[in-house]
C-alpha cells in the first residue's frame, strides 16, 4: 500500500503547518512517563488533575506559537478543546496507541488505546492521527507491527485524515542495549531501514528519531549524511522528534535534519521538560520565557532550512481530480443517496 494523497489529507497536513509548509509542532501526548516525572517517588500519586493541569499550562503558552500540537485522548484533550487551550487557528494531532507496549519475550507490539479509534479522532475534529510504534526490522513482531500500520492507514484513507507514524527503535534481547556504543553503531541502519519499510504502508508523515546517537558520534558531517540517507529512502515528508535530549543538542539536530531534507520538528521534552520540576509562578515563568524562546528559535531554524511538506507531495497533489464534477466522484464508494 502506498500513500494516496487526497483532499482531506491535504487539508489536515496544511492545518499542522505554517503557510509555507513548515512543521513546528509541540508534543504533549506523554502519559505514564509524565506521571513518573511529576511524582518521581511514587508515580501513582500523580493525579489525573495534576497531569491535565500541567498539560493545559503548557498548551496555554506554547500552542499559540506552534503550527500544531500533539496530545493524547486521556489527559486534557477534551478540556483543552472546551476551554480554548488549543486555538481554533492551530491544528492538533491525537495519538491512537495505548501507552507502552505488549512485551513478547523482549520484542514489542503496539495496541490501540481502549475505547478509542481513528473514527473518534476524525469525529473530534483533529487534523491528523498519530501512532507511536516500537519497531525493529529484525524483530519477530515486525510483520505484525507493519500490519497494524497498514490497517490504520486503510482506516485513515477511508476517513480522509492524515496518518503520522512515530517509529521508536529498541534493542532485541540478544543485541546491544540501546544507548550503548555498540547499539550506536547500528542505530543509523535501524532508523533508516525502519523508515524505508514503514513509509510505503500508507503513512503520510513520519516522525523520526535522529538517526545518530550523538553521545557516541561527534562528527556533524556524519549526522548530516545519515539524515540525507533517511530523506532519500522515503517518498513522504518527515519531521524530527526530540526524545528528551537537552535543548542545545536538539537545536543542532533540528538544523542538520532540516538542512538534510526534514520538514520540521515535533518536539516535547526538549522544549518544556524543566517545567515538570517547577510549581506555580515558577513553572509559569519558565514556560512564558525559556520554553517560548526555545520554540521560537527552533521555528526560525526550520523556517530557514526545512523542506516544505507540500514540495514532497507536489506530483501527488497535481494528480488529484479537481475537474468539473469532482464532488460526484469524491468518496463515492461511501455515498448513500438522500431521499
CATH label, 7-334, candidates 3.40.718.10, 3.40.430.10, 3.40.50.510, 3.20.20.70: 3.20.20.70
How far is the C-alpha of 68 from the C-alpha of 203, rounded, in Å?
A: 18
Domains of the chain: which residue ranges?
7-334
Q: What is the mean pLDDT of residues 259-283?
A: 97
How many helices (H) and strands (E) the chain has is answered by 15, 10
How far is the C-alpha of 73 from the C-alpha of 93, rounded, in Å?
A: 10
Q: Write the DSSP symbol of residue 279.
A: -
Looking at per-residue confidence, does 335 or 223 come out higher?
Answer: 223
Q: Does residue 102 carry a pLDDT above 90? A: yes
What is the separation, in whole angstroms, between the first and last Cα of the chain?
A: 36
pLDDT tens digits, one per residue of 314-334: 999 999 999 999 999 898 766
Is-contact 124 71, C-beta < 8 A?
no
Q: What is the mean pLDDT of residues 210-237?
A: 96
Q: Residue 271, SS3?
A: helix
Res 39: pLDDT: 85
Q: Measure the CA angle with vertex 49, ends 47 and 51; round to 5°.
A: 75
How far is the C-alpha of 161 from the C-alpha of 125, rounded, in Å?
A: 10
Q: Does residue 7 carry a pLDDT above 90? A: yes
Res 334: pLDDT: 64
How far is the C-alpha of 247 from the C-alpha of 224, rounded, in Å?
A: 19
How far is the C-alpha of 60 from the C-alpha of 76, rounded, in Å?
A: 12
Q: Does residue 73 carry a pLDDT above 90? A: yes
Res 46: pLDDT: 82
- Identify the band that residue 300 occupies on the pLDDT scale cut at 50, 70 and 90: very high
Res 42: pLDDT: 79
pTM of the entire predicted model:
0.96
Name the grid cell of 7: 483532499
How far is the C-alpha of 67 from the C-alpha of 12, rounded, in Å?
A: 12
Name the residue among 264, 265, 221, 219 with its Cα closest to residue 245: 265
Res 335: pLDDT: 55
Q: Residue 322, SS3?
A: coil
Name the grid cell of 229: 540517507
Q: What is the mean pLDDT of residues 226-230?
A: 98
How far is the C-alpha of 26 from the C-alpha of 58, rounded, in Å?
A: 10
Name the grid cell of 11: 487539508
pLDDT tens digits, one per residue of 17-29: 999 999 999 999 9
Calculate helix-pair angle for 142-159, 181-198, nearest 10 degrees. 40
Is-contact 276 34, C-beta < 8 A?
yes
Q: Does residue 44 carry a pLDDT above 50? A: yes
> Which helix (H) or strand (E) is 239 found in, with range?
strand 238-241
Amino acid at each position: 500500500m502506498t500513500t494516496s494523497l487526497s483532499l482531506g489529507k491535504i487539508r489536515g497536513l496544511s492545518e499542522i503547518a505554517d503557510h509555507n509548509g513548515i512543521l513546528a509542532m509541540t508534543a504533549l501526548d506523554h502519559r505514564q512517563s509524565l506521571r513518573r516525572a511529576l511524582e518521581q517517588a511514587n508515580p501513582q500519586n500523580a493525579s489525573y488533575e495534576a497531569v491535565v493541569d500541567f498539560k493545559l499550562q503548557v498548551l496555554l503558552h506554547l500552542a499559540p506559537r506552534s503550527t500544531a500540537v500533539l496530545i493524547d485522548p486521556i489527559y486534557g484533550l477534551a478540556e483543552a478543546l472546551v476551554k480554548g487551550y488549543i486555538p481554533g487557528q492551530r491544528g492538533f494531532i491525537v495519538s491512537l496507541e495505548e501507552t507502552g507496549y505488549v512485551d513478547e519475550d523482549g520484542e514489542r507490539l503496539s495496541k490501540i488505546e481502549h475505547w478509542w479509534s481513528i473514527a473518534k479522532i476524525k469525529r473530534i475534529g483533529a487534523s491528523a492521527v498519530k501512532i507511536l510504534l516500537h519497531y525493529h526490522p529484525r524483530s519477530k513482531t515486525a510483520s505484525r507491527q507493519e500490519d497494524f500500520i497498514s490497517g490504520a492507514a486503510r482506516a485513515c484513507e477511508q476517513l480522509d485524515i492524515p496518518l503520522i507514524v512515530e517509529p521508536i527503535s529498541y534493542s532485541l534481547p540478544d543485541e546491544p542495549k540501546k544507548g550503548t556504543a555498540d547499539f550506536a553503531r547500528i542505530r543509523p541502519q535501524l532508523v533508516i531501514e525502519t523508515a524505508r519499510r514503514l513509509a510505503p504502508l500508507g503513512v503520510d508523515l513520519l516522525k523520526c528519531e535522529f538517526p545518530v546517537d550523538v553521545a557516541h558520534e561527534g562528527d556533524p558531517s556524519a549526522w548530516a549524511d545519515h539524515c540525507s540517507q533517511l530523506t532519500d529512502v522515503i517518498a513522504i515528508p518527515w519531521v524530527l522528534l526530540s526524545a528528551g535530549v537537552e535543548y542545545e543538542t536538539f537545536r543542532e539536530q533540528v538544523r542538520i535534519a532540516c538542512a538534510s531534507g526534514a520538514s520540521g520538528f515535533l518536539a516535547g521534552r526538549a522544549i518544556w521538560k524543566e517545567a515538570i520540576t517547577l510549581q506555580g509562578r515558577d513553572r509559569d515563568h519558565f514556560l512564558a520565557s525559556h520554553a517560548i524562546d526555545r520554540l521560537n528559535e527552533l521555528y526560525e531554524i526550520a523556517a530557514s532550512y526545512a523542506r516544505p511538506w507540500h514540495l514532497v507531495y507536489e506530483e501527488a497533489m497535481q494528480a488529484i481530480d479537481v475537474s468539473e464534477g469532482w464532488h460526484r466522484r469524491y468518496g463515492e464508494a461511501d455515498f448513500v443517496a438522500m431521499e
